[in-house]
C-alpha cells in the first residue's frame, strides 16, 4: 500500500485516546502485573481471602476510572462479585461487560519456569497465571475507559460492568445473582472478553462456545479392600467394573454412546462447515504443538469441528485401589472417575446428566453399587454472525488490526454466556484478545503485550461503533 493511500485511511481510534494510551503504556502493564500477583484461585478454599483481595482490586480500579455504584457483592454462595456502571451516554445503547478475576490452580508447579504468581513482562510478553485468562482482558477494559477519561471523553455507550470470581468453578454465585438483579443488568447486549484470537494470532470473534456437564461416577463393593486370592473371581471388582462403564460411554470412533446424547444438537449447516473448513488451521502444526503422537476426532468430522463445534465426553480423572510402589494383592473396595462432557447448542446439561446417570446404571454390572453425581454444568451458546453487534465488533477489529476477523467456535466453556443469553435475553459478543496457545490453565501462561495493546484499542473503537449502531437505528 502506498503512503498516500495509508494517509487517507481513518484513524483506528480517536487520536486523543491513542495519545493517552501511548502515554500510559508502562502504567497499564504494571496494573496487569499487580493484578496477576493476587493468587485468586477460585477452586481452592485456602485462597478465599485472595478472592476478596482480587475483587477489591477490581472495584478500586473501576472506581478509579469513574464508574458509579461500584460494589463488591459479598452475599453470594461463595466468592464476591464486582458491579459498577458508567451511564453517561443518554440514548445510546447499554452494554453489559463481563470478565472474570479468578484463575485456574497453578499446579503442576514444577513445570513453571518462574513462580506462577510472580508475573513479569519480558521481551514483549507477559508471563504468569491469569495474564491471558482473564486478568489481562479485564485490565484492557479498565484501560480503555481510563484512556477515554484521560482524553476528556466518556464512553459513547452506557457500560454496566459485572466481574465474577467463579468462572473457573461453575459461576454459581453469578448464576444465582443474575435472575435476582435483572434491572441492574438491563442492557442491549453483552460483551464478554474471555476468549482468544484464532491459531496464529488471527483476529477472531467467537460465535459459539461449548457448554459443560461435569459428573462423578462412584463404584462401591465393600467397606474395605478384599484379599484378591481369597475373593478374586467370586466378587465383582469395582475398578474392572468402572473400566467397563467408561468403555461403554464413548466408542473408538469418537461417538458418545449415551442414548439421546445428540438429540438436541443444533446441526451444523453447510455454510457453517465451509466457514470452519476455510479457517487457517494446520492440523499437523496443532498436533506438534500439542505434543501428541496422533490426533483423533469424531468419525465424519474434521479435527477442528470435533474440538469446537461437536460435543464430546472425557474422563478427567480415575482412581481407586492400590497405586503405590510394589504389589498389593487386593480387590479395591471402591473406584471412582470424574467425567465431563463438552456440549453444543442446544444440549441441556441437566438432561445430559440424566441420560448419563441412566446409562451408567444400565451398563453397570451386578455385584457393585454404582452412583453418578452431578458436579456442575453450563449451557453452550451460539450468536449469529450477521447480528449488528457482532458486525460492530468486526468493524472495530478491522479498524485496529487492519484485517477482517474470522468467526470461530471455541471448544471451551464460559458458563455465564448462556445466562446472559437465556436469562437476560441479551445478544452476546465474545470478543477476546488472548492467543490460542497462551497456556491458559497450564504452566507458563502468557499474553503478548501487542495483543494487550491492540485489544485495548479494539475495545475503545467498539464503544464508538456500538454508539453509531443506535444512532443509525434511530434515524
Judged by the rule CB under 5 A, the positions of this chain that interact with Zn ion are 133-134, 194
Residue closer to Zn ion, measured from CB, 134 or 272: 134
Residue 408 Cβ vs Zn ion, minimum distance, rounded to whole Å: 16
Spatial separation of the C-alpha atoms in residues 341 and 357, rounded to whole Å: 13
Residue closer to Zn ion, measured from CB, 320 or 434: 434
Query: In sequence order, what are the beta bridge partners of 94?
Result: 158
Residue closer to Zn ion, measured from CB, 359 or 433: 433
Residue 133 Cβ vs Zn ion, minimum distance, rounded to whole Å: 4
> How buried is 255 (Cβ within 10 angstroms: 0-12 exposed, 13-18 middle, 19+ buried)?
middle
Residue closer to Zn ion, measured from CB, 129 or 457: 129
How many other β-carbons are positioned within 10 Å of the β-carbon of residue 123?
Answer: 7
Whether 123 sits among the annotated catalytic residues: the reply is: no
Residue closer to Zn ion, measured from CB, 298 or 410: 410
Whether 56 sits among the annotated catalytic residues: the reply is: no
Which CB contacts under 8 angstroms, 24+ apart, belong to 277-281?
Answer: 277/302, 279/198, 279/199, 279/304, 279/406, 279/408, 280/198, 280/199, 280/200, 280/202, 280/406, 281/198, 281/199
Residue 166 Cβ vs Zn ion, minimum distance, rounded to whole Å: 11
The radius of gyration computed from the CA coordinates of the chain, to the nearest angstrom, equals 24
Residue closer to Zn ion, measured from CB, 103 or 426: 103
> How buried is 261 (Cβ within 10 angstroms: 0-12 exposed, 13-18 middle, 19+ buried)?
buried
Residue 104 Cβ vs Zn ion, minimum distance, rounded to whole Å: 8
Choose, from 50, 102, 348, 410, the residue flagged as catalytic: 102
Helix extents (H) in 235-339: 238-249, 270-278, 283-290, 303-308
Residue 284 Cβ vs Zn ion, minimum distance, rounded to whole Å: 28
Choose, from 167, 194, 401, 410, the residue flagged as catalytic: 167
Residue 376 Cβ vs Zn ion, minimum distance, rounded to whole Å: 15
Spatial separation of the C-alpha atoms in residues 367 and 220, rounded to whole Å: 9
Give me the active site residues, please: 102, 167
Amino acid at each position: 500500500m502506498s503512503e498516500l493511500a495509508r494517509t487517507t485511511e481513518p484513524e483506528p481510534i480517536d487520536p486523543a485516546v491513542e495519545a493517552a494510551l501511548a502515554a500510559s503504556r508502562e502504567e497499564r502493564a504494571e496494573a496487569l502485573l499487580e493484578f496477576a500477583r493476587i493468587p485468586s484461585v477460585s477452586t481452592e478454599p485456602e485462597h478465599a481471602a485472595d478472592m476478596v483481595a482480587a475483587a477489591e482490586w477490581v472495584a478500586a480500579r473501576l472506581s478509579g476510572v469513574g464508574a458509579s455504584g461500584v460494589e463488591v457483592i459479598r452475599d453470594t454462595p461463595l466468592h464476591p462479585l464486582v458491579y459498577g456502571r458508567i451511564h453517561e451516554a443518554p440514548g445510546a445503547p447499554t452494554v453489559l461487560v463481563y470478565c472474570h478475576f479468578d484463575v485456574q490452580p497453578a499446579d503442576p508447579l514444577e513445570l513453571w519456569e518462574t513462580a506462577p504468581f510472580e508475573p513479569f513482562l519480558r521481551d514483549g510478553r507477559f508471563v504468569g497465571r491469569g495474564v491471558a485468562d482473564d486478568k489481562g482482558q479485564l485490565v484492557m477494559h479498565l484501560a480503555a475507559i481510563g484512556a477515554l477519561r484521560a482524553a476528556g471523553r466518556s464512553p459513547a455507550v452506557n457500560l454496566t460492568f459485572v466481574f465474577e470470581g467463579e468462572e473457573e468453578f461453575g459461576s454459581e454465585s453469578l448464576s444465582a445473582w443474575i435472575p435476582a438483579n435483572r434491572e441492574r443488568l438491563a442492557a442491549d447486549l453483552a460483551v464478554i472478553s474471555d476468549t482468544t484470537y484464532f491459531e496464529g494470532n488471527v483476529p477472531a470473534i467467537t460465535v459459539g462456545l461449548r457448554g459443560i456437564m461435569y459428573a462423578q461416577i462412584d463404584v462401591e463393593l465393600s467397606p474395605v479392600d478384599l484379599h484378591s486370592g481369597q475373593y478374586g473371581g467370586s466378587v465383582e471388582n469395582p475398578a474392572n467394573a468402572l473400566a467397563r462403564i467408561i468403555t461403554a460411554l464413548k466408542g473408538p470412533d469418537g461417538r458418545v454412546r449415551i442414548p439421546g446424547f445428540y438429540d438436541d444438537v443444533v446441526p451444523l449447516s453447510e455454510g457453517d462447515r465451509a466457514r470452519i473448513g476455510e479457517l487457517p488451521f494446520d492440523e499437523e502444526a496443532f498436533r506438534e504443538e500439542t505434543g501428541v503422537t496422533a490426533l483423533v476426532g469424531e468419525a465424519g468430522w474434521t479435527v477442528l469441528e470435533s474440538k469446537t463445534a461437536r460435543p464430546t465426553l472425557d474422563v478427567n480423572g480415575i482412581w481407586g485401589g492400590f497405586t503405590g510402589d510394589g504389589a498389593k494383592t487386593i480387590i479395591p473396595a471402591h473406584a471412582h472417575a470424574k467425567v465431563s462432557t463438552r456440549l453444543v447448542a442446544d444440549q441441556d446439561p441437566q438432561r445430559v446428566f440424566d441420560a448419563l446417570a441412566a446409562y451408567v446404571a444400565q451398563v453397570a454390572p451386578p455385584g457393585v453399587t454404582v452412583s453418578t453425581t452431578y458436579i456442575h454444568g453450563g449451557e453452550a451458546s451460539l450468536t449469529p454472525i450477521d447480528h449488528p453487534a457482532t458486525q460492530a465488533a468486526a468493524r472495530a477489529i478491522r479498524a485496529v488490526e487492519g484485517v477482517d476477523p474470522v468467526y470461530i467456535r471455541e471448544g471451551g466453556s464460559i458458563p455465564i454466556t448462556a445466562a446472559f443469553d437465556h436469562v437476560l435475553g441479551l445478544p452476546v459478543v465474545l470478543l477476546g484478545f488472548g492467543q490460542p496457545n497462551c497456556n491458559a490453565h497450564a504452566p507458563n501462561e502468557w499474553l503478548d503485550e501487542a495483543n494487550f495493546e491492540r485489544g485495548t484499542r479494539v475495545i475503545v473503537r467498539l464503544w464508538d461503533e456500538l454508539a453509531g449502531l443506535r444512532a443509525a437505528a434511530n434515524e
